[in-house]
Homo-oligomer: A and B are copies of this chain.
Amino acid sequence: MTIAPNRQFRPLPVPSVTVGGYWGDWQDAVSDHTAAILLDRCVAAGMLEQINPDVPSPGIVIPILHWLGTPQMFWDSDLGKSIETIAYSLYRKPNPELEARADAIIDMYEKLQDTDGYLSSFFQRIKPEWKWTNLRDFHELYCAGHMIEGAVAYYQATGKRKFLDVMSRMADYCVRKFGRGPGQVRGYCGHEEIELALVKLARVTGKQAYMDLAKFFVDERGQQPNFFIEEAIAQNRDPKGVQKNTLEYNQSHLPVREQTKVVGHAVRAMYLYSAMADLATEYNDDSLTAALETLWDDLTQKQMYITGGIGPAEANEGFTDYYDLPNDTAYAETCASVGLVFWASRMLGRGPQRLYADTMEQALYNGAITGLSTDGQTFFYDNPLESTGKHHRWTWHPCPCCPPNIARLVTSLGSYIYAVADDEIAVHLYAESEARVELANGAKFTLTQNTNYPWSGDINIAIEPETPARFAVSLRIPAWAHGARLAVNGKPQDVAAAGADGYVRIEREWNRGDTIALDLPLEPRLLRAHPAVRHDAGRVAVMRGPLVYCLEGTDNGKGLNSILLQHGLGKAQAATIPNLRGAIAIDLPVLRENARDWGDALYSDKAPHTEAEQARLVPYHLWDNREPGEMLVWLRER
């Protein structure tokens, strides 16, 4: 890859895009259910007692067998993400009751904030003596980051400045506290998050100091002497850390520009790389982009599930060895794939590039949205690619990071579909939507996508400028879309003219009534894994467009590993799945081994009896939304 040119693409703000169709259904589920559920369950966990300065501190509870119900240092982050979700959901469906509940929480935070701007409920109300004693483990800046993101979203959604002002004061406090000047702390957070939040805050407030603080945190990370080692020594803690908490765990083992391998806790890594990509765009920083390109290849060529799931191991919630991608024990946390969507979208800041957009789509549709049930009421934390029928969605989790993370992504999806530069709009995702755009060159227009994507590959785009205007529309041609066809105002265009970046760039004067018709063939296709992935040896995965497919027990009975694909997908047929939002299934003939004539023996020199059968594959992200049962992504191939 080559370093991107000095162009700056930024996402359209969430309010500028109205989403319908497939993603509209998801947004409805979040607006109608998830948004309130998030608050309900944060309240049930006792979070308000921690942040409300008008009630006695609950104090700390020593957990005996589990940590459910005891105040947590990361609770502010859950409230921050919940408020962010509520804010975005208010665009879609005004909800005065939910807005009032969010306002009340914001009032508590305003009252709780110290006069110097400091705000972190755990360290103000539960353990004041721990304040700023352990940046590595205590999530203090991480929480501030999520609160900042919530504040930005809430301001954009409601126009109310209170939360934004509160968090700006906390950011101002951090600008004073952290830096290379005398008396300042030359440190950064063990769980990256505040960096990308400060970029958002800088963009919405226009205040450069926030952007510079984000850059400071990123630039300082992993420099020698290592801050976390120095801090541990100063606090009389073991500088080597304990158990999983190595320097690699939080990506502080090397300066970020020298990092070449994706390591450690997966969510932390994604948030760091997201901030690095934002800063690469904002500062036109080629050294950051070069490091990110290396890390991108490392992740996507050696450490990523076909679902865009990442971080195979529960032990460190993160990365292990190259090509170590177990299916049934995959951790592949929902938050990590959400983080990959964040990172990929920000890699598009320096210009369209389908390498990133294709993977963003892959992670969005398979690794991330899988974490939410279609009714918006239950969640996956980890996302295995094979289940014996014991893995199910849950209603809540003692570490409730995933539900608000996927919910805020869903409700802000509009900002991932499009990105704009001075004289160009890039269409990164295909989705029923209407975008209201004003470019820096003055062009002002509405862009409407009419499509039943991802079930259909027919995409009709209408462009309605207020007055005729010259600008470019760049359309991603996914790498899998062999035989894609394109027409502008009915006139066929050469898709092969797509650049090395995989986008067709249509630059012209646009007039009212102009249309673009794009047809992306959604033929099912077979994928195999690199021969070094032992877990997928002799197996294939089926994809259709951006979607990974799987076998479910409810369609195919028990023993999914007895199913053998014998003749590829030649006879595959698409069918609509009843009661699953118009989702498309793939039916195809297979062989099935059974125990007929096998007898009682556990081991035998016989080969199992096989019979011809019809199998049904369904989109992986919709599994466990019907009757519970087994699930399998990687099918055996004869």
A-B contact pairs, 19 of them (CB 8 A): A300-B602, A306-B603, A326-B328, A525-B605, A527-B604, A528-B605, A528-B606, A528-B607, A528-B608, A530-B598, A530-B601, A530-B603, A531-B593, A531-B594, A532-B562, A537-B561, A537-B636, A538-B564, A541-B603
Give 8 A-B pairs besides A528-B608, A532-B562, A541-B603 with Cβ atoms closer than 8 angstroms: A300-B602, A304-B602, A388-B534, A528-B607, A531-B559, A531-B608, A534-B562, A538-B564
A537 to B328, CA, bound (A): 15
Find chain B residues with CB under 8 A from A496 CB: none
Q: Are A533 and B606 within 8 A (Cβ)?
A: no
Q: Which residue of B lies closest to A362 (CB)?
A: B603
A67 → chain B, closest Cβ, in Å? 15
Find chain B residues with CB under 8 A from A529 CB: 602-603
Convert A267-306 into 0s and 1s, putting 1 for each residue whose CB lies closer than 8 angstroms to a CB of B.
0000000000000000000000000000001001110101
Q: Are B538 and A636 within 8 A (Cβ)?
A: yes
Interface members, chain A 552-595 (any B CB < 8 Å): 559-562, 564, 593-595
Which residue of B321, B533, B537, B600 is within 8 Å of A301 (Cβ)?
B600
Q: Does A434 touch B at the CB level, under 8 Å?
A: no
9 pairs of A and B residues whose beta carbons are closest in the complex: A534-B561, A537-B561, A531-B608, A531-B593, A527-B603, A301-B600, A531-B562, A531-B595, A306-B603
> Which residue, of A560, A608, A636, has the highest number of chain B Cβ atoms within 10 A?
A608
Q: What residues make up the interface of A, taking CB atoms closer than 8 Å to B? A: 65, 242-243, 297, 300-302, 304, 306, 321, 324, 326, 328-329, 388, 525-534, 537-538, 541, 559-562, 564, 593-595, 598, 600-608, 636
Q: Are B329 and A533 within 8 A (Cβ)?
A: no
A55 → chain B, closest Cβ, in Å? 32
> Which residue, of A302, A561, A595, has the highest number of chain B Cβ atoms within 10 A?
A561
Q: Are A595 and B530 within 8 A (Cβ)?
A: yes
Which residue of B301, B559, B560, B603 is within 8 Å of A528 (Cβ)?
B603
Main secondary structure of the interface of A (DSSP, over half): loop
Q: Which residue of B lies closest to A533 (CB)?
A: B602
Q: Are A388 and B528 within 8 A (Cβ)?
A: no
Contact A602 to B301, CB < 8 A, known contacts A321-B388, A559-B534: yes
Which residue of B388, B532, B598, B600 is within 8 Å of A595 (Cβ)?
B532
Q: Which residue of B lies closest to A559 (CB)?
A: B532
> Which residue, of A324, A525, A529, has the highest number of chain B Cβ atoms within 10 A?
A529
A599 to B30, CA, bound (A): 41
A329 to B604, CA, bound (A): 23
A363 → chain B, closest Cβ, in Å? 13
A375 → chain B, closest Cβ, in Å? 29
A537 to B324, CA, bound (A): 20
Q: Are B531 and A602 within 8 A (Cβ)?
A: no
A306 to B601, CA, bound (A): 11
Q: Are B527 and A605 within 8 A (Cβ)?
A: yes
Find chain B residues with CB under 8 A from A559 CB: 531-532, 534
Find chain B residues with CB under 8 A from A528 CB: 603-608
A452 to B329, CA, bound (A): 43
Q: Are B603 and A526 within 8 A (Cβ)?
A: no
Find chain B residues with CB under 8 A from A606 CB: 528
A40 → chain B, closest Cβ, in Å? 29
A608 to B528, CA, bound (A): 8
Find chain B residues with CB under 8 A from A534 CB: 388, 559-562
A561 to B536, CA, bound (A): 9
A318 → chain B, closest Cβ, in Å? 17
Q: Are A324 and B388 within 8 A (Cβ)?
A: yes
Find chain B residues with CB under 8 A from A538 CB: 538, 564, 636
A512 to B80, CA, bound (A): 91
A636 to B304, CA, bound (A): 24
Find chain B residues with CB under 8 A from A243 CB: 65
A373 → chain B, closest Cβ, in Å? 26
A604 to B528, CA, bound (A): 5
Q: Which residue of B lies closest to A328 (CB)?
A: B326
